[in-house]
Structure formats: C-alpha cells, structure tokens
Structure 1
Amino acid sequence: MELQNPATPELTVGELIDQLSALDRNATVRIAANPFFPMAHRLAAVMPASDETGRPLVFLADGDQLGHVPPDVAVRLTWHEPTTAPPRTRRRAARPTGQ
C-alpha cells in the first residue's frame, strides 16, 4: 500500500479506488487519526460535498473510536519511529526489615 505522495497533497477518489481495489473486499475499514497519539476509528459515512469554489469533495467521516492504531501501522505511516522494548532485568527481592 502506498502512502500519499507529498508532491500531490490530496488523494483523489480514483486513486483511493485504485488502492482499495487491490485489497480484500471483506476487510473492515478503519481511519487512523492523530499521529502523536494514534487512535483507530470506524468509518461512519462517505459524504459527497463541494468546496468554496464548487470543486467536488468527498468526506470520509469517522465514527466510534476503537482504540490504538497498531504500532506497526503507526511506523508504516511514518508517525512513529520503530522501537524495541528494552530488555527486562530481574528485580531484586526486598528484604524484610530487621534482618
């Protein structure tokens, strides 16, 4: 799957259809939002509209928030750097007082 090309700031319906047509038609659609605290949302609606100049637009409206975006998705979106959990060390046991 391709990320949006920074040289063309907006994705067209045709480009979206092209990208979606390569995927499983039974896959659930989610919206990833907020790169600093990535959350997943259900897609609630697809709304046709127009901007101030009359140019056609399509809005994808988010629905319920479902939880966090999986870390690998946030990395692929370039919202987060790849990270590895620090190694776990064995904790020392506390000694009872008076010994």
Structure 2
Amino acid sequence: MPELTVGELVDQLSALDRDATVRLAVNPFFPMAHRIAGVMPGRDENGRPLVFLADGDQLGHLPPDVAVELTWQEPTIAPTRGRRRAARPSGGDH
C-alpha cells in the first residue's frame, strides 16, 4: 500500500463531515479504535518531511464494518435459522 501524503489526506478529509470525530484504527489482528492525541511534524532518516499522528488512549473495538472496509476482517453474515420444532408435552401423552 503506498504511503499517504498530507495533500491526499487533506483531500480525503475535506470530503467528510467537518464535525466528525477523528479516530485511529490500530492493529488488524485485534482491531481497536484510538483517539488521536496530536499531529507532529518530523523528518525521516533521509531528512524528508513526515507528519506523525500521535496515538492517544484506546477507546474500544473498531466497528466491524470499518475493519471489513480496511480489509482487516472478512465480512460475516449471520447464519440463517431454521424453523424451531415445537416442544412435546411433558406428560408422555401425545
């Protein structure tokens, strides 16, 4: 997956609700949602500019539809339920 630039991130975010809360999706094997604690500029080992999103506190599990959209989980469909059989009378008479 190619790295996302600030410009690409701004473009994607500008298409969304400006009042929506931003969260960080973490760990595809145990998907969790985290607050973003801050945005910090930095540089990589070659001096190129980077932007870091600082991980805040963990909020709980990532919603399943988000994990599916990120391709971290397969979509699941609840099994269909067959008709339930009626219980027999307990007196032994049918």
TM over 0.5: yes
Corresponding residue for residue 78 of structure 1: 71
Structure 1 alignment gaps of length 5 or more: 1-5, 94-99
TM-score, scaled relative to structure 2: 0.82
Map 1:53-92 to 2 at 5 A. 53-87=46-80
Of structures 1 and 2, the larger Rg is shown by 2
The SS at the match of 1:75 is: helix
TM-score, scaled relative to structure 1: 0.78
RMSD over aligned Cα atoms:
1.5
**Are residue 33 (structure 1) and residue 40 (structure 2) matched?**
no
Q: How many residues align?
A: 84
Corresponding residue for residue 45 of structure 2: 52
Give % identity.
81
**Alignment match of 2:11 (pick from 3, 11, 18):** 18
Partner letter of residue 47 of structure 2? G
**Offset of 1:86 from its aligned partner?**
3.1
